[in-house]
Amino acid sequence: MTTLIVATGNPGKLKEMQQYLQDTDWDLQLKPADLEVDETGTTFAENARLKAVTVAKATGQWAIADDSGLAVDALDGRPGIYSARYGASDGDRIQRLLGELKDCRDRQAQFICAIALANPQGAIVLDVQGCCPGQILHQPQGDGGFGYDPIFWVEAEEKTFAEMSPERKKACSHRGLAFKELLPKLAEIEP
């Protein structure tokens, strides 16, 4: 197995990626705790590439990174790359977003996930993106998931992410769609 450093310090994200990559020959590990990466990109793809390149160069190992968030049409794509920093807690972020939308009729939005893979020299060898379209509800529904899941309605499923089973969310989410695109390409790489 080849070591693949996940460009995060979050064990939950490592576990999630391990689920997507469980049938591959990659051994996923967290980045070193003292290695910080400033997310200075202006898009999800730029931030994912930045994290993957920085971690690959610093460790001399293959590195994978993702960056994701919610983009609301009526808010010109906000919260976008600032989705996780849109408030101090999930509840704060949801309330801020709902407050900004108020009675706005256009509630179209999409969750976006960009994933980048860098080789040990720090060159990007894979770059994919998944997008799940939906709408922002006027109030939360469901108690599963995290973040904006209770207010993100997926028309095709007739549920919010917070109302879906973890398996269903994994299959239709932005992250699931990004990994679906990544996996066949990853299988072609010979580390």
Residue 15 has a pLDDT of 87
Using CA atoms, how far apart are residues 47 and 157, in angstroms rounded to an integer?
A: 30
Q: 171-183 pLDDT, tens per residue?
A: 999 999 999 999 9
For residues 103-114, one letter each, b for 16 or more C-beta atoms within 10 angstroms of the residue's C-beta and e for the rest, the string is eeeebebbbbbb
Instruction: Indicate whether 78 pLDDT > 90.
Output: yes
- What is the domain count for the chain? 1
Q: Look up 67 and say whether it is catalytic.
A: yes
- More confident call, 9 vs 54: 54
Residue 122 has a pLDDT of 98
The residue range of the domain holding 86 is 2-187
* Arithmetic mean of pLDDT over the chain: 95
Question: What CATH number does the domain containing 173 carry?
Answer: 3.90.950.10
- Contacts by 78-82, CB closer than 8 A, 24 or more apart: 80/44, 81/39, 81/41, 81/42, 81/43, 81/44, 81/47
Our CA angle for 146, 149, 150, nearest 5°, is: 105
Residue 59 has a pLDDT of 98
Q: What is the mean pLDDT of residues 112-138?
A: 98
Q: What is the mean pLDDT of residues 118-146?
A: 96
Instruction: Indicate whether 145 pLDDT > 90.
Output: no
Query: What's the predicted TM-score (pTM) here?
Result: 0.93
Instruction: Indicate whether 9 pLDDT > 90.
Output: no
Residue 13 has a pLDDT of 84
Q: 10-69 pLDDT, tens per residue?
A: 887 888 899 899 999 999 999 999 999 999 999 999 999 999 999 999 999 999 999 999
Q: What is the mean pLDDT of residues 149-155?
A: 97
Residue 174 has a pLDDT of 96
Residue 172 and residue 160 in contact, taking contact as beta carbons nearer than 8 Å: no
Instruction: Indicate whether 97 pLDDT > 90.
Output: yes
Instruction: Indicate whether 168 pLDDT > 90.
Output: yes
Residue 10 has a pLDDT of 82
Q: What is the mean pLDDT of residues 98-120?
A: 97
Residue 124 has a pLDDT of 98
The active-site residue out of 34, 38, 67, 127 is 67
